[in-house]
Chain A
Amino acid sequence: MTYLVKPRLLLDAAPKNALGYTKRDYEGAISTLCAGCGHDSISAAVVQACFDLDIQPHRVAKLSGIGCSSKTPDYFLGNSHGFNTTHGRMPSVLTGAALANRELIYLGVSGDGDSASIGIGQFAHAMRRGVNMTYIVENNGVYGLTKGQFSATADKGSKNKRGVVNNDTPIDLVALALQLGASYVARSFSGDKEQLIPLIKGALRHRGPAFVDVISPCVTFNNHHGSTKSYDYVREHNDAVNRLDFILPRDQIKTTYAPGSLRRIVQHDGSILLLRKLDTEYDPSDRVGAMNHLQERHAIGEIVTGLLYVDSSSEELHRYLNTVEKPLNQLGDAYLCPGSKALDALNASLR
C-alpha cells in the first residue's frame, strides 16, 4: 500500500543540508518494486544527490514513462511534482514542461523498454534538441512489468528465463546519446553508489541534455546466467573509465585524490566536476574519443562506466529559442496579449 505515509521518526540528530532539510525531506512513497531491485538503489542515489546539492525539493519536476523504472519517481522527492506519462513519450512531456518554466530542474526517469524500444524516437529527439534535463535510464534489458520480455538493449545471445535466445542487435543508448548531441553522457551501475551519486549530481548541475545510463539488473527476470545485465556479469565486466567526484564551489576539494589523476571541469553554474581517470589516456571532453572508446570496449565485451563525455560549454533549448529569462508560465496578461489597439491596426491591414 504505497499511499501509506512513511513513519516519520523525529530524528533531531539526522544531518541537515544547507537548506535545513534532512534526507527524509527528499524521499517519497515506499517502493513497490521487487525486493532487491536495482532501481531502488538508483532512487536512493537521487535522494542523496539532491540532498547533497541542497536542491529545494519542490524545484525539481520528475517525469517518467511506463514501466518498473517509470514507477520510481513516486518513491523519491515526495515534495516534487511528478508526472507518470505514456509509454516511451516522457521526453516530449518533459520538453514541454521545460519550455514552460526554465527555472526548474527536470529529471526524466525511464527504462530500456521505455527509451530504447517504444521510445527510441523521443529519446533521440530530446537529446538532439538540447533539452535541459537529467535523463536517467534504469537499464535492465528486460520488461519487468509484463514479466520478462526482451527490450532493445538486451544483448545479442542473452537468454531469458525460459531459455529463449535474443538474436536482435542491442541498442546502446550511451553510444546513441553521444552521437545525438547529449552534452553529458555517463554510465553507471545501480550497485555502485560511489560512482553513481556523483554522476547524478554532475548531471543535475549540467546545462543541456545530461544522460545517465544505469545498468540495473532485474532481480526477477534478468539476473541469471546468460544475461549480460545480471549483477555478476556486470561486476565481472565493468570497466570504469574514471572516477567522478562532485564538489560544490563552497565546499573545497577533497584531498583523497592525487593531483596528477584529477581532471577539473567547471560547469556553467560554477560547480566543478572532478574526474579521476583510471584510464590515464581517457579524455572526457572528446566526443569522438568517447565513441571510439565505447565501441572498442564493447567489442571485447566490456561495459564502460563513468563519465564518458561532458561539454562544459554546452547550451540548451531555451537559448536556441531565444526565450525570455522569466519562465513562460509566469508571464502575465500584459506580456502576452497585444490588446485591442494592435487588433484594430491588424484589421485595417486585412481590408
Chain B
Amino acid sequence: MKATNSTGSIRRSNDFVIKFANVNGSGSASANELFARAIMRMGVPVAPRNIFPSNIQGMPTWYEMRVSSAGWLGRRGGCDLMVAMNPQTWDRDIAEIETGGYLLYDSTRTLPRSRFRNDITVIGIPLTELCNCEYTDLRQRQLFKNIMYVGALTALLDMELAAVEQLIADQYRGKDKLIEANINALKRGYEAATNALPCPIGLRVERANGVGDRIFVNGNDACGLGAVYGGATVAAWYPITPSTSVIEAFTSYCRKYRTDPDNGLARYAIVQAEDELASIGMVIGAAWNGARAFTATSGPGISLMQEFFGLAYFAEVPAVIFNVQRGGPSTGMPTRTQQSDLIACAYASHGDTKHVMLFPEDPYECFTFGAQAFDLADRLQTPVFVLLDLDIGMNDRLCQPFDWDDQRRYDRGKVMSAEELQAGRNFGRYLDVDGDGIPWRTIPGTHPTKGAYFSRGTTRNAYAKYSETGVDYVYNMERLRRKFETAKKLVPAPVIRRAAQPTRYGAIYYGSTSPAMDEAFALLEEQGIHVDTLRVRGFPFADAVIDFINEHDYVFVVEQNESGQLRMLLVNEGEVDPKRLIRVLHYDGTPITAAFISGRIADTLAAHKVTPIRKQVAS
C-alpha cells in the first residue's frame, strides 16, 4: 500500500470531478452509483454521468461524477481524482487527470514508475489481493472489489462512514445478508485506506445543506412514472438504447400502482412488439380505440415509425412517443447523447405534417411533461413527442421532487358520448365546429346507430366520407393549420431569464443543455458579458419565443447536434432572419459543458469585435 505525494496537490472541498474507469459488466455501475448517492446524502450536490459502450461485458466504461457545492449539475470536463480500475484504458485515464490531481488504483500488481505521472498524487491499494483473501467466490471477489474502493474513497475523502452504511441498509432493506456483506466490504476498504494511507487527501466531501428536498432519479424512470400518472394503459415498444428503461420503469411502476388489489389483475397492457413499426401501430390502434397509449424509442425507431406518424397526424389519432435521443444512424453512437432528432420528429412522415414536441430539461420535467403529453395528445388528437436524450434519460440527476395535484382530472379532449349522439348532436369527424381546428371524435362501440365512421388518411370529407375533392382536402389542411395554432397555446411556455443588465444578446437552448447553460450564464455574467436566455419547452413555438428573438440583435442557439436543428425550426417557423441566429453546437457525443458554451459565446463576441453594448434604458 502506498501513496506518493506530489507538491501542489489540488485542495478542494465539495467541488471536484471524480471519474471511475471500469470494465463494463463488472458490477461497477451500482457501486459507483452508491458512492454518488452517499455524497448526495451528505447534502452535497452531485451529478454523475455514465459513459458506457454499446456492449454487455468487457469493454471500457466510465462513470464521471461532478461534486459541486455551487450546485452545478452540468458536465465540467477534466478529472481531479481518477479511480483507474481498467488496465485497457490506463494510459488515457492517467493522462486525463488534472495537474495536482489524484489517482487511486489497484496496486496488487506492481507497475513500473514510467506508467505514472509526477504531477499527480498516486494512491495504491491492493484491492484484488484484499478481495482474494476475503472471498473465495469469483463473482464476490469482483463485486466486492467495487464496494471496497467505495469504502477506501469514503476514508480518502473524509466522508461519513455511517452515512454510507445507512445508505446500503436503505438500498437493501429486507435483505439482511446483502446488507451485512456489503457493509463488511465497505469497512474493509475503509480500514485499508485509514490504516495505510494519509487520509484524508486534498479533496474532501463535507456535510452541507445544498441538496434540500431534491430527489435523485433518471429521466427514463421519470418518463415511465409520468406515463403511469398520465393515465397510459397501453405501452407497445421495441428494445433500443437508450430508451429501453422507460418501459422497464413503466412496467415496474404499473406493477406497483396499477395491480388491482382485489384480484391481482393488471390495469395496463404492455407488449414488446416485433419492431418499431408494430409498436407505433399498436399505440395508434389503442388510442384510436380510446385508451391512452405510448411508445418509447430512439432515432432509428423514429425513422421506422415515419409512415404511421403521418397516418396518426391525418387520421387525428392521439399518440405519445418518448424519444430518448442518441447519435445516429443505426450503428451510430447508441450510447452517446445528442439532440439530433428535432427535425426528424417535427416534420416526421410524408405529406404536409407537423408535430407537437416537448423538451424536458431534467427528470422532474420528464415526469411532468410525460404526464401532460397524454392530455395534449387527447386534446389535440395528434402524436405528441417527448424529446429527451441519453444524458437526462440514463443518468441520475438531482431535481425537484415530483408533484401531483389530486384535483387534476385527465383532459380526454373532445369525445362525443352516446348520450350526446342519442340527443341528436351533429357529428362530423373532421368538422371544425369550435373554430380551434380540433374536431370531435367518437370511440368505437359507443352508439348502435350514430357516430361510427371510417378512419383513413385524407381522402375524405369533414364527415369522414370518401372524397378526393380538392375543396375537401384544402378545408382539412386549413383546419389542421388552425389546430397547430391552438397547440401553440397549450404546450409548456418558454422560460426566460434576464441578464443582470439589458442586452442586445440572447441565447436559446432546450432539454439537457439546461445545467450547462445555467452555469455558462453565471460564468458570462462574471466576465461582464450579459446574455438573456430563453429555454424552449415546446413546439410549436409560443409567440414569446419569436418575440424574444425579435427583442435581441443576435441570439445564440445552443444545441447538441451538428446541423443546428432548433435554429432551422426557428428560421422556418418563426420566419426569423438566419443571420441573427448564431449557432453554438456541441455534438461529439459527450454532454455539453458550461466552459464550451461560455467560451463560444465570449469568443464569438470578441471575434465580432463587439463589446456587449448595453441598450439605452428609457428611464
Interface residues, chain A, CB within 8 Å of chain B? 2-3, 25, 29, 56-59, 61, 63, 73-74, 78-86, 89, 91-101, 103-104, 121-122, 124-125, 129, 317-318, 321-325, 328-331, 333, 335-340, 342-343, 346-347, 350-351
Q: Which 5 A-B pairs have the closest CB atoms?
A: A96-B285, A92-B281, A100-B291, A96-B282, A81-B444
Return 23 A-B CB contacts under 8 Å, by A number.
Answer: A58-B445, A81-B445, A81-B454, A82-B452, A83-B288, A83-B315, A85-B281, A85-B311, A96-B283, A96-B285, A96-B287, A96-B291, A101-B290, A101-B445, A103-B445, A104-B289, A317-B271, A328-B233, A328-B291, A329-B286, A347-B402, A351-B213, A351-B216
Cβ-neighbour of B225 out of A93, A94, A346 (below 8 A): A346
Is the Cβ of B233 less than 8 Å from the Cβ of A331? Answer: yes
Name the A residues within 8 Å of B268 (CB-CB): 323, 328
Knowing A100-B291, A323-B266, A350-B217, the reply to whether A93 touches B444 (Cβ < 8 A) is no
**A170 CB → nearest B CB, Å:** 23
User: Is residue B488 contacting chain A, with contact meaning CB distance below 8 A?
Assistant: no
- Complex: how many Å from CA A23 to CA B404? 51
**B608 CB → nearest A CB, Å:** 45
User: Is residue B580 contacting chain A, with contact meaning CB distance below 8 A?
Assistant: no
Name the A residues within 8 Å of B288 (CB-CB): 83, 93, 96-97
Cβ-neighbour of A92 out of B266, B285, B444 (below 8 A): B285
| Total residue contacts A-B, CB cutoff 8 A | 231
Name the A residues within 8 Å of B177 (CB-CB): none
Is the Cβ of A78 less than 8 Å from the Cβ of B289? Answer: no
**A80 CB → nearest B CB, Å:** 6
- Nearest CB in chain A to that of B466: its residue: A2
Q: A3-B461, A328-B268 are in contact. List 20 more A-B contacts (CB 8 A).
A: A25-B449, A29-B466, A58-B445, A58-B452, A82-B452, A85-B281, A89-B277, A91-B278, A92-B278, A92-B282, A93-B281, A93-B288, A96-B282, A97-B289, A329-B289, A329-B291, A331-B233, A336-B233, A338-B229, A338-B258
- Complex: how many Å from CA A351 to CA B211? 9
Is the Cβ of A79 less than 8 Å from the Cβ of B284? Answer: no
- Nearest CB in chain A to that of B281: its residue: A92
Is the Cβ of B455 less than 8 Å from the Cβ of A100? Answer: no
Is the Cβ of B404 less than 8 Å from the Cβ of A93? Answer: no
Is the Cβ of B465 less than 8 Å from the Cβ of A3? Answer: yes
Name the A residues within 8 Å of B287 (CB-CB): 96, 100
Cβ-neighbour of B234 out of A83, A96, A333 (below 8 A): A96
Is the Cβ of A122 less than 8 Å from the Cβ of B274? Answer: yes
- Complex: how many Å from CA A335 to CA B257? 9
Knowing A74-B454, A86-B311, A89-B308, the reply to whether A99 touches B282 (Cβ < 8 A) is yes
User: Is residue B446 contacting chain A, with contact meaning CB distance below 8 A?
Assistant: yes
- Nearest CB in chain B to that of A5: its residue: B465
Number of B positions contacting A (CB below 8 A): 76
Is the Cβ of A100 less than 8 Å from the Cβ of B285? Answer: yes
Name the A residues within 8 Å of B217 (CB-CB): 350
Name the A residues within 8 Å of B285 (CB-CB): 63, 83, 85, 92-100
**B75 CB → nearest A CB, Å:** 22
Name the B residues within 8 Å of A104 (CB-CB): 289, 444-445
Cβ-neighbour of A81 out of B267, B271, B455 (below 8 A): B455
Name the B residues within 8 Å of A92 (CB-CB): 236, 273, 277-282, 285
Is the Cβ of B281 less than 8 Å from the Cβ of A3? Answer: no
Which segment, of B57-65, B330-338, B405-413, B566-574, faces chain A?
Answer: B405-413
Cβ-neighbour of B270 out of A91, A321, A330 (below 8 A): A321
- Nearest CB in chain B to that of A332: its residue: B410
- Complex: how many Å from CA A63 to CA B284? 12
- Nearest CB in chain A to that of B399: its residue: A350
Knowing A100-B285, A339-B406, the reply to whether A347 touches B278 (Cβ < 8 A) is no
- Complex: how many Å from CA A86 to CA B287? 16
Name the A residues within 8 Å of B404 (CB-CB): 337, 339-340, 343
Is the Cβ of B445 less than 8 Å from the Cβ of A96? Answer: no
Per the 8 Å Cβ criterion, residues 407-464 of B in contact with A are 409-410, 442-449, 452-457, 461
**Max chain A CB contacts within 10 Å: which of B280, B287, B404, B442?**
B404
Knowing A3-B467, A96-B282, the reply to whether A79 touches B448 (Cβ < 8 A) is yes
